[in-house]
Amino acid sequence: MKKFSISDIECLTNIKAHTIRVWEQRYCLITPKRTETNIRYYDDQDLRKFLNISLLLDSGLRISEIAKMSNKEISSRILKLSECEVNGCSCTINSLCNAMLALDELMFNQTMENSITSLSIEQTMLDVIYPFLHKVGMMWQVGTINPAHEHFITHLIKQRLIAAIHSIETVSSKVARKYMLFLPEGETHEISLLFANYLIKSRGHHVLYLGQNLPLDDLEEVASFYDPDYIITFLISSTHFTCPNQLVQKMLETLPRWTLLVSGSLVLNNTIEPHERLKVVRHVPELIDFITNDTEVNNLYFTC
DNA sequence: GTGCGTTCAAAGTGATTAAG
DNA sequence: CTTAATCACTTTGAACGCAC
């Protein structure tokens, strides 16, 4: 079980360490374990609870109200929140949820194919798969599903994306750009990376796909050889990166000649220091827009 | 009923000191 | 340098009373 310091929790949840201590004192919200020298530390379960509390606070609840709730009530509120956020394609998403809970591969694939037929693969990713994965994340957070469920469905989604990527004919174009795609060491959530691969190839650009869990030290050599216009990565797994900003800054140092595009839920929830070679993409439509419409390869982006 | 001012509690944060 | 603990302060919003 992973141990988190109070500053790790601050980084991952955006709740100030000071505030966490005050909550502990005023509401006995979470009583952390202590080291021999009286330093607080937290485990996975505590992190989940903090993430849940953070979501409920964002939804407008007060900390005094949350403090009165049982863990069960917090969980059900979170699940209700995820229901509210899912619009339009809620039927398909519910069907995917059921298939996941029943570990029913046939049902999952059929639901996905039906959606792709009626919406296209891109729209299915946007309107169905991402909201579904968001819901899966919530379900994991409150303990409704276990890692096996998550592995089961991610495998199926990845398979479908790989098939879609292979079905694209490679077109050589004078204006084609080169993208290098990778996930850093410890990061295994590959769906967004595969989807980016699909988007780039379908727009007639070139991709060097390096996949998941890649040590940073190996990247510079590959990038020097391939010399991409952009390097794209995603940060999603909060249990691996205690401070996303530090990791991004390290990537920029390791890759000193290229523009880095970073996306994923961790950059959505954390403050990433701006850099002249860094583009932070917080939402998928922004990524699609960037890949589709970027005509300014030499223009660099500043984000806040 | 509406608008305004006052009071109070809740919540978050700053500053400080001490300890490791 | 980081963390713990504490006090004091600010901000915010709800509740209330009062005049119109």
- Lowest mean pLDDT, pick from A9-18, A67-76, A133-142, A269-278: A9-18
Q: A76-100 as b/e, with b when 16 or more CB fall inside 10 Å? A: ebbeebbeeebeebeebbebbbebb
pLDDT tens string A267-304 = 776 667 778 888 988 888 999 999 988 644 433 333 32
A237 and A286 fall within a common domain = yes
Domain end point (choices A106, A141, A165): A165
A157 pLDDT band, cuts 50/70/90, is: very high
Mean per-residue pLDDT for A68-72? 75
Q: What percent of chain A has pLDDT over 90?
A: 28
A92 and A238 fall within a common domain = no
Mean per-residue pLDDT for A95-123? 89
A74 and A187 fall within a common domain = no
A158 and A272 fall within a common domain = no
Nucleic strand C near CB of residue A6 (< 7 Å): yes
pLDDT attached to residue A116: 93
Nucleic strand B near CB of residue A227 (< 7 Å): no
From residue A63, give the alpha-carbon distance in Å to each of A24, A47, A221.
11, 16, 49
pLDDT attached to residue A113: 93
Please count the structural domains in chain A.
2
Top-confidence range, A32-41, A208-217, A260-269 = A208-217
Top-confidence range, A4-13, A99-108, A141-150 = A99-108
Domain end point (choices A118, A144, A165): A165
* Strand C nucleotides in reach of protein CB atoms, 7 A cut-off: 2-6
Nucleic strand B near CB of residue A295 (< 7 Å): no
User: Is A299 a domain residue?
Assistant: no
Nucleotide nearest to A18 (CA to C1'): B13
User: Is A138 a domain residue?
Assistant: yes
Bridge-based pairing state of the strands A40-41 and A33-34: antiparallel
User: Is A303 a domain residue?
Assistant: no
Dihedral of CA A52/A53/A55/A61: which sign? Answer: positive
What average pLDDT is seen over chain A?
80
User: Is A297 a domain residue?
Assistant: no
- Lowest mean pLDDT, pick from A36-50, A154-168, A171-185: A36-50
Provide, in whole angstroms, the distance separating residue A26's CA from nucleotide B4's C1': 34
pLDDT attached to residue A246: 74
A50 and A97 fall within a common domain = yes
Provide, in whole angstroms, the distance separating residue A18's CA from nucleotide B13's C1': 8
Range of the domain at A51: 6-165
The separation between the first and the last C-alpha atoms of chain A, rounded to the nearest angstrom, is 34
pLDDT attached to residue A124: 94
State which residues between 29 and 58 of chain A bring their CB within 7 Å of strand C.
38-40
A14 and A153 fall within a common domain = yes
A19 and A127 fall within a common domain = yes
Nucleotide nearest to A19 (CA to C1'): B12
Provide, in whole angstroms, the distance separating residue A66's CA from nucleotide C16's C1': 27
Domain end point (choices A133, A149, A165): A165
pLDDT tens string A203-245 = 989 999 999 988 888 888 899 999 999 999 998 876 555 567 7
The count of residues in chain A is: 304
A54 and A124 fall within a common domain = yes
User: Is A203 a domain residue?
Assistant: yes
A18 and A130 fall within a common domain = yes
A131 and A260 fall within a common domain = no
User: Is A131 a domain residue?
Assistant: yes
Is the entire prediction scored with pTM above 0.75? Answer: no
pLDDT attached to residue A137: 79
CATH number at residue A240: 3.40.50.280
A202 and A148 fall within a common domain = no
HEC states along chain A? Answer: CCCECHHHHHHHHCCCHHHHHHHHHHHCCCCCEECCCCCEEECHHHHHHHHHHHHHHHCCCCHHHHHHCCHHHHHHHHHHHHHHHCCCCHHHHHHHHHHHHCCCHHHHHHHHHHHHHHHCHHHHHHHHHHHHHHHHHHHHHCCCCCHHHHHHHHHHHHHHHHHHHHCCCCCCCCCCCEEEECCECCCCCCHHHHHHHHHHHHCCCEEEECCCCECHHHHHHHHHHHCCCEEEEECCCCCCCCCHHHHHHHHHHHCCCCEEEEECHHHHHCCCCCCCCEEECCCHHHHHHHHHHCCCCCCCCCCC
User: Is A304 a domain residue?
Assistant: no
User: Is A298 a domain residue?
Assistant: no
pLDDT at A91 over 80: no
A151 and A209 fall within a common domain = no
